[in-house]
């Protein structure tokens, strides 16, 4: 049996953790999917998947093999792209991930433009408020906000964003405008973060940095909800500038303590090095980078 076919089937099963889902995505019968995985495991002499009546899980060997298969299939795709010529129109699927609000505001318009420009390409977008592992979850491109940890990913810096404190004019009129980060201890705090009993906000740079530890009255995992609570006059919240850009422009919120802001957060496009050679991924990254670098909220 064609080894590339076996790898393709295994990647579909491993990524979706489902024989049935792989069958649908590859338009193959469930029996054909099962035979392909069995043939692959028999040829390798290793168990790649743990099967139960309800789900499928990768073994440790299966996870390593899945990563290797992705790289091999990506290399084959890149070789085909190169052989067909750099000017050949891109084809296939591109997967991209970003946070929910950033994806909706900045990435979606770029995706729409890309799809109109390249009719033979499909895009699958995952807008999630969590860090997605590109290798483990099979993503081509990610947009990340904030400092990057050490990573095997390639990063392309495309802008930066301020982290700002804001409150409504109504709240500031009633409670006064803080003049120093320590003044926040006497104010109502809205925290858009993981649910924890206390938050620590850092201000300033280097040796002048200040940390204020507070107990928020309202802690919520949704940035939209934090913005709405601030607009309604509940208290002070801290978010990235783009997350409240409309409210700031409309005068519903005002920035406070700008002189104590941290260094702006960088915005990066991440991609797997081996995938950047793919025509469709390269063209999408080029378009996305141009779009983000010229956006007024990111520069």
* Tokens standing for residue 19: 């024989």
First to last CA, the chain: 53
Parallel, antiparallel or unpaired: strands 163-167 and 236-240: antiparallel
- Mean pLDDT, range 264-289, rounded to an integer: 82
Last residue of a domain, one of 53, 83, 113: 83
Half-sphere exposure of 246 (CA within 13 A, CB side): 7
73 pLDDT tier (thresholds 50, 70, 90)? confident
Provide the pLDDT for residue 24: 87
**CATH number for position 293:** 3.40.190.10
Pair 20, 51 in one domain: yes
The residues with which 145 forms a beta bridge, in sequence order, are: 267
- Mean pLDDT, range 256-277, rounded to an integer: 81
Provide the pLDDT for residue 96: 94
Provide the pLDDT for residue 188: 96
Q: Among the residues of 232-273, which ranges form H helices?
A: 245-249
Pair 53, 93 in one domain: no
Distances 221 to 146, 191, 227 between C-alpha atoms, Å: 18, 8, 11
251 pLDDT tier (thresholds 50, 70, 90)? very high
Cβ(203)–Cβ(178) below 8 Å: no
Cβ(231)–Cβ(253) below 8 Å: yes
Pair 153, 12 in one domain: no
Pair 34, 168 in one domain: no
Where in the sequence is the domain holding 152, given as residue range(s)? 89-159+265-298
Pair 12, 79 in one domain: yes
The yes-or-no verdict on residue 237 having pLDDT over 90 is yes
Pair 178, 245 in one domain: yes
Pair 256, 269 in one domain: no
Distances 151 to 155, 229, 271 between C-alpha atoms, Å: 9, 36, 11
Domain count of the chain? 3
Last residue of a domain, one of 83, 102, 119: 83
286 pLDDT tier (thresholds 50, 70, 90)? very high
The yes-or-no verdict on residue 113 having pLDDT over 90 is yes
Cα 44–chain centre separation: 34
Pair 214, 286 in one domain: no
Phi, psi of 109 (to 5 degrees): -60, -35
Provide the pLDDT for residue 269: 93
pTM, rounded to two decimals:
0.65
**CATH number for position 10:** 1.10.10.10
98 pLDDT tier (thresholds 50, 70, 90)? very high
Digit-coded pLDDT (tens) for 120-176: 999 999 998 777 777 777 788 999 888 877 555 678 899 988 889 999 999 999 999
**CATH number for position 229:** 3.40.190.290
Provide the pLDDT for residue 134: 74
Provide the pLDDT for residue 197: 57
Digit-coded pLDDT (tens) for 38-65: 999 999 999 999 887 778 889 989 988 9
Cβ(238)–Cβ(187) below 8 Å: no
Pair 212, 286 in one domain: no
Phi, psi of 126 (to 5 degrees): -120, 105
Q: Does residue 252 sit in helix, strand or coil?
A: coil
**Which region holds residue 25: left if phi is over 0, alpha if psi is between -120 and 50, else beta?**
alpha
- Mean pLDDT, range 268-278, rounded to an integer: 71
How many whole angstroms separate alpha carbon 218 and alpha carbon 192?
9
């Amino acid at each position: 049996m064609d080894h590339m076919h076996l790898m393709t089937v295994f990647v579909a099963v491993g990524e979706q953790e489902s024989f049935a889902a792989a069958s649908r995505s590859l338009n193959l019968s469930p029996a054909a999917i099962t035979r392909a995985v069995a043939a692959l495991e028999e040829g390798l002499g290793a168990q790649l998947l743990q099967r139960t009546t309800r789900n499928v899980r990768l073994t440790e060997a299966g996870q390593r093999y899945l990563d290797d298969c992705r790289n091999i299939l990506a290399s084959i795709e890149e070789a085909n792209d190169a052989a067909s010529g750099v000017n050949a129109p891109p084809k296939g699927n591109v997967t991209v991930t970003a946070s929910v609000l950033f994806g909706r505001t900045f990435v979606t318009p770029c995706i729409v433009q890309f799809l109109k420009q390249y009719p033979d390409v499909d895009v699958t977008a995952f807008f999630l408020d969590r860090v997605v592992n590109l290798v483990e979850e099979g993503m081509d491109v990610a947009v990340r906000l904030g400092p990057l940890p050490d990573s095997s990913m390639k990063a392309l810096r495309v802008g930066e964003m301020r982290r700002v404190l804001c409150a409504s004019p109504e709240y500031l009129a009633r409670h006064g405008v803080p003049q120093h980060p320590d003044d926040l201890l006497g104010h109502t705090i809205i925290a858009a973060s993981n649910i924890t009993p206390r938050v620590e906000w850092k201000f300033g740079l280097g040796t002048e940095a200040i940390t204020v530890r507070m107990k928020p009255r309202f802690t919520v995992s949704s940035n939209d909800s934090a913005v709405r609570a601030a607009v309604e006059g509940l208290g002070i919240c801290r978010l990235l500038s783009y997350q409240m850009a409309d409210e700031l422009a409309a005068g519903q919120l005002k920035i406070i303590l700008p002189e104590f802001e941290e260094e702006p957060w960088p915005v990066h496009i991440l991609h797997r090095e081996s995938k950047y050679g793919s025509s469709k991924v390269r063209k999408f990254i080029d378009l996305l980078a141009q779009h983000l670098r010229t956006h007024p909220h990111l520069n």
